[in-house]
Amino acid sequence: MNETKIIGISGTNGSGKDTVGLLLAEKFGYYFISVTDLLRAEARHRGLPVEREALRTISAEWRREQGLGVLVNKAIEHYNELPEKYNGLAIASLRNPGEADRVHELGGTVLWLDADPRVRYDRIQANASARDRAEEDNKTFEQFLAEEEAEMHASGDSATLDMAAVKERSDLTLVNEFANREQLADKLEATILV
């Protein structure tokens, strides 16, 4: 992995983490993997509802069993099995400081994304069906804010989510209130890929 550039993507809910990962893949030759999708697959495998609470529980369990950087390690294992080589690896969504630390150990960069809460909520609602998350994202604005607050600070041991600590460890912050994907791609090229 030393020769592969790694970008760990974190940020608030609906800030565009998957969009950034997809742009890095489409326009800059990165391989994009969402560790949240790994957690969703595990929830389905266990017969659990694909809800944020179940995903938080599984991720904390894995961190306790396999170390705080386990989700980054799982993404790298997947990447290393690919027959094709890419310009880099983009991993979203880092939600524990151990994941940011693991990206840094591997020589990577951690990007924090944010935007106005109402803008983020509206994005999620507008794109829920397209992202095949209509049930998961069916929340009121107040529920959205409460879930985010629950994920911003550790709620137990070091294996729980602590996005505020990830934000503190981030190398770059980007406020994603761009009018379109092209403007966001231009900003990524100018700030992250230099």
- Model confidence over 94-103: pLDDT tens digits? 999 999 999 9
Tell me, what's the pLDDT at 85? Answer: 86
Between CA 172 and CA 111 the distance in angstroms is: 5
Torsion of CA 100, 23, 114, 170, to 10 degrees: 20
Between CA 97 and CA 106 the distance in angstroms is: 14
- Model confidence over 117-169: pLDDT tens digits? 999 998 888 876 666 666 666 789 999 998 888 889 988 899 999 999 999 99
- CATH code: domain 5-191 is 3.40.50.300
Phi, psi (rounded to 5 degrees) for 111: -105, 130
Segments making up each domain of the chain, as ranges: 5-191
- Model confidence over 44-97: pLDDT tens digits? 999 999 988 899 999 999 999 999 999 999 999 999 999 988 999 999 999 999
